Amino acid sequence: MNAAPSESSEPAGPAAATLSDAARVLLIEDSPADALLISALLGDEFAVTQVPGLREGIAAAAQSGFGIVLLDLFLPDSRGLDTFAQFQALHPELPILVMSGLDDERVAASAVHDGAQDYLVKGQMDEVLLHRAVRYAIERKRVERALRDSEAFYQSLVENLPQFIFRKDRDGRFTFANRRFCTLLGRTLEEIVGRTDFDFFPAELAAKYQADDQQVMATGKIFETVEENTHPGAEKEHVQVVKTPVFDAQGKVIGTQGIFWDVTARVRGEERLKKAHADLARSREDLLRTLADLQRSHSRFKEAQLQIIEMEKMQSIGQMAAGIAHEVKNPLAIIRMGVDYFGNALPLAEDEATHTVLKDMQDALHRADGIIMGLLDFSAPGKVDLRPGELNTLLRSSLNLVKHELKSARITVATDFCENLPPALVDTNKIKQVFVNALSNAAHAMPEGGTLTVRTYIKKLTPEEAKPSPGARQTHEFRAGERVLVTEIDDTGTGIPEDKLDRVFEPFFTTKATGKGTGLGLTVSRKIVELHDGAIQLQNLAPGGARTTITLRTERN
């Protein structure tokens, strides 16, 4: 970075006037009388060296450090303004006071115009005037030099910085442009100054620049932006622009100045970075989505695995059941025939105890046969013949099948059937088996009597309800918005122990006393409901008792 101008930075040499140098005066005067007079007027304060001609004067000035030159314009070897011009050309660093006669005052004034510090008219000098003129000339030259240095400093700054710099007046006319900017526009400074943006840029762009300038002048604030320039056939360029107002000595805004530079590389870097960030964010999102998909797949996989295990269990139980059924039924057939033989062999009135024994044996046979039948139902190949059926009618006929059982247990039946239900899609006999099983279970739950409520209704499934319930083994899925037929069978019994609730559909699982249930009723029911693409669910009711909910599809599905 350039240092600010100072005395110390000035080049050393004759021009580097010290106080003692300043006191040394080179008097170039051919008239001995005038030389004597001037020396006398300067007095002891100045050391005067007098030479009679220009040539000697130029040589003397080169020899040693003078603070000032008093130059007579009319010398034997040079006359008039040319004398000054010659000397100044060779020693521009020295302050020059020109001297003239009365009749040459005009020439002297011209010398001042060309760079002499002042002029003195011979014959009109006095000591005070001369002293003041000498000192003032020295001082003024020093200030001039400082100013020139300062100017050179700032010019160097403005011209050598790798930025484009300009100034404009209030009307948007250029008052200055640095070399770089001139090169950019392909014009000389003279061609630029006095013109506006409209002379160099497309109208749209020029209007924008002027609007920016107006804003800067109106607000008096720094304006900073990154402009995007597109040149035909070239890539987009980005330019950082800073504009500030220019104030006069009174603080009034008199124009604008601006500096701009190419930041294309930086902007492209930022864009790349931004894109990289966005890509990264997207990759992260993709990754999270993939992870979520994986987790979902994993849980589905686990669910499917559990279902397969469950199904395999069921299948092997089914195969086993068929085998057992055959092997057990043959001995049962023998016992049955045997019991019948005894029953017919004994006259009725003969022995009441024997008849009781035979009756108990027949009941036991019937029970054993029932279990085996259940096993066969369970293992029977899964096929249903689905036809439209009236749900309420099926329930009424199922209730009729268990009416004796309900009556003997003093159970009150309440029905809440929704009329005008669309037909259900059912295998009549199989679904009746499900209903009878559920009704019979409800009756078994109320050995001391109670109320059995059978309810039907139609409902549109919410997305939540359409989801398979956790752990449910469903071979199909309901759709949200699907209209389904719901049957609820409520009892006021003891309910199902909460820890047993998720096992009730398992084969051979029963909460009933020995001999009261086969442990296959709900297993078979679930299988039948699944063949209907429906759902069956058991839950405890808050005030006590349990509810069996059977969801079936309507014909329209």
- d(C-alpha 167, C-alpha 196), whole Å: 11
CB of 322 to another protein, least distance (A): 7
In terms of CB distance, is 47 or 365 closer to another protein? Answer: 365
Residue-by-residue DSSP string for 276-320: HHHHHHHHHHHHHHHHHHHHHHHHHHHHHHHHHHHHHHHHHHHHH
Q: Which two tokens stand for residue 116?
A: 């002499």
What backbone torsions phi and psi does residue 66 show, to the nearest 5 degrees? Answer: -100, 150
- d(C-alpha 178, C-alpha 159), whole Å: 6
- d(C-alpha 377, C-alpha 322), whole Å: 9
In terms of CB distance, is 124 or 344 closer to another protein? Answer: 344
CB of 363 to another protein, least distance (A): 13
CB of 393 to another protein, least distance (A): 19
Output the CA–CA distances (angstroms, integers) from residue 248 to 169, 211, 372, 422, in the order listed.
11, 21, 114, 94
CB of 503 to another protein, least distance (A): 24
In terms of CB distance, is 51 or 325 closer to another protein? Answer: 325
Output the CA–CA distances (angstroms, integers) from residue 117 to 127, 250, 366, 452, 502, in the order listed.
18, 30, 145, 129, 116
In terms of CB distance, is 329 or 455 closer to another protein? Answer: 329
SS (H, E, C) 525-547: HHHHHHHCCCEEEEEECCCCCEE
CB of 525 to another protein, least distance (A): 14
CB of 330 to another protein, least distance (A): 5
**Number of H-type helices and E-type strands within the chain:** 16, 19
CB of 337 to another protein, least distance (A): 3
Q: In what order do the strands lie in the sheet with 47-51?
A: 47-51, 24-28, 68-72, 96-100, 118-121
Query: Hey, is 116 helix, strand or coil?
Result: coil
Binding site for another protein (CB under 8 A): 322, 325-326, 329-330, 332-338, 340-341, 344-345, 365, 369-370, 373-374, 376-377, 380, 429-430, 433
In terms of CB distance, is 41 or 335 closer to another protein? Answer: 335
CB of 380 to another protein, least distance (A): 5
In terms of CB distance, is 292 or 357 closer to another protein? Answer: 357
In terms of CB distance, is 82 or 340 closer to another protein? Answer: 340
- d(C-alpha 428, C-alpha 389), whole Å: 7
Residue 240, number of CB atoms within 10 A of its CB = 17
Q: Which two tokens stand for residue 216?
A: 């800067």
In terms of CB distance, is 375 or 443 closer to another protein? Answer: 375
In terms of CB distance, is 83 or 518 closer to another protein? Answer: 518
Task: State the residue for tokens 């749209």.
Answer: 204
CB of 341 to another protein, least distance (A): 5
Output the CA–CA distances (angstroms, integers) from residue 263 to 161, 208, 212, 234, 237, in the order listed.
15, 19, 19, 16, 8
